[in-house]
Structure 1
Amino acid sequence: MKSLILKDLYNIGHNAKSMLLILLVFAIGLIMVSGVESYIISSGVLCSMMIVTTFTFDDHCKWSKYALVMPICKKDIVKAKFIVLIIFCIAGICVGTIFGVAGGVAMHKMALSMEGIVTMLFMGFVGLIVSVIFGSMSIPLVFKYGAEKGRMLLLISFAVPLGICFMVYEILMMLGVKITDQLIFTILCASPLIAAIWIYTMYRISCRIFYKQEING
């Protein structure tokens, strides 16, 4: 398991500087327009997309075919991708929070106070949940259709969770449930559990897709 994770981290390592530059340039524009909060969440989502790049490297070296003949548990191959995704999201949120706070203070978009820092840390938590949910949707798509088509289908990985949230919102409105601060706080408290259930579902789907590929291969 550890070797599978390190493989993807080493392969993506040379892209780290490019991603840092992208996040830095992105900070200059987005913080001015949308604020620090949006930038932190966007940083996590951007870094979650790097999981697709690891599949691209695997395709170039035909890793999947090689892995299938090795004494490696097939579930571990899938599990490693999700762990790497979480690492990418955490890294993106950490860098985004640092750049966001620095840029926000420099652009006078936030005050460097305890309250402001706590707020940004909270937004980092929200961004981590959002980016992991979005990123985990892309993994079964790439297992199913490959890295190149998976990139084009990334929009689906964003649209599906957003669509589900919109449907839940509409149902609550139909039932006459008011969206209060207390309800939002309750949802945020439950978000780690929601994310865990979502990730596990995507993991099981990915395992099934990968298993079928093994049988068909």
Structure 2
Amino acid sequence: MLGLIKKDVLLLQSYLKNLLLITAMFSGLSLINESYSFLAASLPCMFSILCFTLISYDDYYHWDAYSLTLPVSPKDSVRSKYIVSTCLLAFGTVLGTVLSFVVIAIKDISVPGKEVFLTALGGIFIASVLMSLMYPIAYRFGTEKGRFVIFGIFAGISIFIVLLGKALMTMDLQLQSVTDFFTGSGKYLLIPLILVIIFVSYCISCSIFTRKEY
């Protein structure tokens, strides 16, 4: 397991350098625009997307077929990917939160710390959903076809959100009460929900991976 994790980390070294460079550029933009919440929400998503890069490398070098000849189980191969991606997501969250507070301190903006943490929590949720969708799709369709499938899914989700928003406005529901719920006691439900989403995604990926034929 440790060898599989080390392999994925070594594969991502060059990408991490570019990602840190992009992070520095985004930090500069946040300083100029005083958009402190941008880093806390965007960096977790940026780092979680690297999971698709791991699958791309495996597809290019036919790693999945080769791994079957090694003394590791298929579930170990999948588990290592989720461990690395979760660590990247956590790193992006911590980095984004710290940089958000740095921007606040440099610009001397009066912003409650709770608001930054809530923004970071929203970023973690979105990043977890992205990662949880990408892995099963990539294992099922491959990275080339998977990109089109993911694009179609997100296009459908975007259309659904727009239609749902219009429906809620038509029904004249009190949206403020819904917002207050998720910024209040409802925020404690996000962490268990994130864990459930990742676990379900992991189980689906394991099922797909173990049934693949080479």
CA distance in 1, matches of 2:210, 2:165: 36
- For residue 130 of structure 1, report the CA deviation from its aligned partner: 2.2
Q: 1:136 to 1:161 in 2, by over 3 A?
A: farther
Deviations 1:186-208 (A, max 9, x none): 33111112112211221222122
2:89 and 2:66 mapped to 1: Cα distance?
Answer: 28
- Superposed structure 1 runs of 4+ greater than 4 Å apart: 30-34, 156-179
| RMSD of equivalent CA atoms | 3.0
Aligned residue number for residue 196 of structure 1: 195
Residue identity in the other structure for 2:194: A
Can you list the C-alpha shifts for 1:154-174, whole angstroms capped at 9, x where unaligned? 435655766777788789886
Q: CA–CA distance in 2 between the matches of 1:100 and 1:57?
A: 32
Deviation at 1:65, TM superposition (A): 0.8
Secondary structure of the residue aligned to 2:71 is: coil
Taking every aligned residue pair, what percent have the same amino acid on both sides? 23
SS at match of 2:91: helix
Letter in 1 for 2:138: V
CA offsets 1:80-133 (integer angstroms, 9 cap, x no match): 21111111111111222222222343345x34xxx7344323432332222122
User: Partner residue of 2:204?
Assistant: 205
> Partner residue of 1:183?
181
Partner letter of residue 38 of structure 1? Answer: F
Structure 2: tracts of 5 or more residues without a match = none
- Residue 34 (structure 1) shift: 7.7
1:133 alignment counterpart: 129
Inter-partner Cα distance in structure 1 for 2:72 and 2:123: 33
In structure 2, distance between residues paired with 1:31 and 1:93:
18
> Does structure 2 conserve the Cα–Cα contact (< 8 Å) formed by 1:44 and 1:89?
yes
Q: Following TM superposition, by how much is the alpha carbon of 1:178 offset from its aligned partner in structure 2, in angstroms? A: 5.2
TM-score, with length taken from structure 2: 0.81
If the length of structure 1 is used for normalisation, what is the TM-score?
Answer: 0.80
| Mean CA deviation greater in 172-181 or 73-82 | 172-181
Counterpart CA distance in 2 for 1:134 and 1:176 is: 29
